[in-house]
Amino acid sequence: EVQLVESGGGLVKPGGSLRLSCAASGISLSDAWMSWVRQAQGRGLEWVGRIRGKTDGGTTDYAAPVNGRFTISRDDSKDTVYLQMNSLKTEDTGVYYCSWELRSALDVWGQGTMVTVSS
Amino acid sequence: DIQMTQSPSSLSASVGDRVTITCRASQSISSSLNWYQQKPGKAPKLLIYAASTLQSGVPSRFSGSGSGTDFTLTISSLQPEDFATYYCQQSYSTLTWTFGQGTKVEIK
């Protein structure tokens, strides 16, 4: 069974940085396509970005609101994906989920980690 | 970006009712449409992918249809555990994915 566990959320001031982690079990992340999705309190889901598997180049894509501020990376030795968030804004506040992409869908999700950007 | 619009935003229904949720894309997305269910405080769960393929383990009362710009999620007989928020999501764009705004299914 594939399981994803996010960590690293917390309270950060506007302009600050935070790194989220997503640890996987049950799959080898090196060839997995992984996405991050966020959700503001009481709001809908927003796709944040993805990293492709190693055999597909390991390249990344980002949604416009986070492009240039967020970076997704991966440590295959730890089966962990990261979301580095810089220049954080209050509107980045929300629950952040990592998800395994399979068959062009978000097949397995973690439980989420809360990020609060506030002064 | 491809915009996804769901309707209605919310609905009230009774156990046993047939429920239909619609999702419309701002351009043709072929069959690259997925549906998710989310319950309060929980992560979303994939129900249907590629517009009409039921995810393993999902009850057969859920079904999806459509292609191009118009899609439908149908629950044939609403059960108590189905009260939740449902989201559509396009995977046609290879660079960025987008979700609909969600449809909350509440108890009448």
pLDDT along chain A (119 residues), means of 10: 97 98 93 96 97 95 97 95 98 98 96 98
Subunit contact A107:B91, Cβ cutoff 8 A: no
Short-list B28, B26, B36, CA closest to B73: B36
Residue of B nearest to A35 (CA): B97
Distance to chain A for B93, nearest Cα, Å: 10
A51 near A34, Cβ under 8 Å?
A: yes
Q: Under an 8 A CB cutoff, do A104 and B96 touch?
A: no
CB atoms within 10 A of CB A3: 13
* A63 interface with B at CB cutoff 8 Å: yes
Q: Which of A46, A61, A112 sits opposite B43 (nearest CB)?
A: A112
Q: Give the pLDDT of residue B94.
A: 80
B32 in Cβ contact with B91 (< 8 Å): yes
pLDDT of residue A14: 98
pLDDT of residue B34: 98
Please give the Cα distance from B103 to B88 (Å, whole number). 9
Beta carbons within 8 Å of B40's beta carbon, 6+ residues apart: none
Residue A30 main-chain phi, psi, to 5 deg: -60, -35
Residue ranges in chain B modelled with pLDDT below 70: none
Residue B95 confidence (pLDDT):
87
Q: Does A11 touch chain B (CB under 8 A)?
A: no
